[in-house]
């Protein structure tokens, strides 16, 4: 799976995700990527793209859950993504990238690794695969 | 706080022992795709344009599981999915089961912008792609030798598996449960 989330200087948000699915999946299987609120979600607070085991991500409504925690519980983007990845999906199933309207970036996963990269207007850049990269 | 962008190329049981000839092209692609997005944001492109642009670049890279390089179904075919969403309006578009559309994410955007619907799948999505004149290719375009081998390994292990997971690590003794767990 691949994905990208972006916010501009005016707080406009967008999310996109694309995938081939799972190796050896059944013909006709639908994963989380095209399911709004699961593998892909964006509103006025945040934009989210997920990767991992689609069935777990759908059950966790991962994308919408991040937005709901920000909207109703007042969590920051990082707090919301960390909570969803740690508490709402089984271990070794989920990776999430997200940005908020205020320009925060979050990249969280409970798998061994996630191919990921981010950048912000203030000059921060990160490219990594495993924890500690 | 200004603009920001994040991208991913998949998650899973990525071995730290991944050989450099497999690792370095993926790291280079992450840098390249990030740069595409950063430049587009700096140029004032909308976030919707930026995420489509970056995902197209990731789809075109055979090292990631989307577009060229998509993993294979149990029958050795390609069935790709994509989705795009605008935060301001909650407009969105999604496609599933496409096998000849070069960039599924661009088809998803057309679903969002050119139909009264949110989600098209399989034959309907393919038919819509042709109506819209979006670039299509033979499905062999998406299939790599690496993914043929991965399918073979997954079948031998009787598993379905997520991106980059090594089949031998997750083999179960009691049958094809794979990702039906959760």
Residue pLDDT, tens place only, A34-65? 999 999 999 999 999 999 999 999 999 999 99
pLDDT number for residue B172: 40
Whether A93 is catalytic is: no
pLDDT number for residue B133: 98
Whether ipTM tops 0.85, in short, is: yes
Q: Is the pLDDT of residue B77 over 70?
A: yes
- Could you give the C-alpha distances from A90 to A50, A94, A112, in angstroms and in order? 14, 8, 13
**Over the stretch B15-40, which tens digit does the pLDDT of each residue have?**
999 999 999 999 999 999 999 999 99
On whether the CB atoms of residues A36 and B102 are closer than 8 A, the answer is: no
The total number of residues shown for chain B amounts to 182
The residue of chain A with its CA nearest to that of B50 is A6
Element (H, E) at A18: strand A13-19
Work out the pLDDT band at B181, boundaries 50, 70, 90.
Answer: very low
**Dihedral sign, CA of B24, A132, A47, B121?**
positive
Residue B41 near chain A (CB below 8 Å): yes
Question: Which whole number is the average pLDDT over B151-157?
Answer: 93
Whole-number Å distance between alpha carbons of B178 and B171: 8
The total number of residues shown for chain A amounts to 133
Q: How many angstroms away from the CA of A38 is the closest CA of chain B?
A: 11
* Structure tokens, A38: 């699961």
Work out the pLDDT band at B166, boundaries 50, 70, 90.
Answer: low
On whether the CB atoms of residues B50 and A6 are closer than 8 A, the answer is: yes
* Structure tokens, B174: 């009691």
Whether A97 and B8 lie within 8 Å, measured CB to CB: yes
Q: Of the residues A1, A17, A40, A61, which is catalytic? A: A1
Whether B70 and A19 lie within 8 Å, measured CB to CB: yes
Whether A104 and B26 lie within 8 Å, measured CB to CB: no
């Amino acid at each position: 799976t691949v994905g990208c989330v972006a916010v501009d200087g005016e707080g406009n948000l967008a999310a996109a995700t694309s995938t081939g699915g799972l190796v050896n999946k059944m013909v006709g299987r639908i994963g989380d990527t095209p399911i709004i609120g699961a593998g892909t979600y964006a509103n006025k607070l945040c934009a989210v793209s997920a990767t991992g085991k689609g069935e777990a991500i759908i059950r966790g409504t991962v994308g919408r859950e991040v937005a709901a925690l920000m909207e109703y519980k007042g969590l920051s983007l990082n707090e919301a993504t960390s909570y969803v990845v740690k508490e709402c999906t089984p271990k070794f199933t989920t990776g999430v990238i997200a940005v908020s309207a205020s320009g925060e970036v979050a990249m969280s996963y409970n798998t061994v690794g996630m191919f990921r990269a981010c950048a912000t207007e203030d000059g921060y850049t990160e490219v990594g695969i495993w924890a500690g990269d | 706080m200004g603009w920001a962008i994040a991208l991913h190329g998949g998650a899973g049981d990525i071995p730290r022992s991944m050989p450099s000839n497999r690792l370095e092209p993926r790291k280079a692609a992450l840098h390249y795709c990030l740069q595409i997005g950063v430049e587009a944001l700096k140029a004032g492109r909308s976030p919707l344009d930026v995420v489509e642009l970056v995902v197209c670049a990731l789809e075109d890279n055979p090292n990631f599981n989307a577009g060229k390089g998509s993993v294979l179904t149990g029958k050795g075919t390609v069935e790709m999915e994509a989705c795009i969403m605008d935060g301001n309006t909650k407009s969105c578009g999604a496609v599933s089961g496409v096998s000849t559309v070069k960039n599924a994410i661009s088809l998803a955007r057309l679903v969002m912008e050119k139909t009264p619907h949110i989600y098209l799948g399989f034959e309907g999505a393919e038919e819509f792609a042709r109506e819209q004149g979006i670039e299509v290719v033979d499905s062999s375009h998406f299939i790599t030798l690496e993914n043929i081998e991965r399918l073979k390994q997954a079948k031998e292990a009787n598993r379905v598996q997520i991106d980059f997971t090594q089949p031998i690590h997750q083999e179960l003794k009691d049958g094809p449960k794979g990702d039906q767990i959760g």
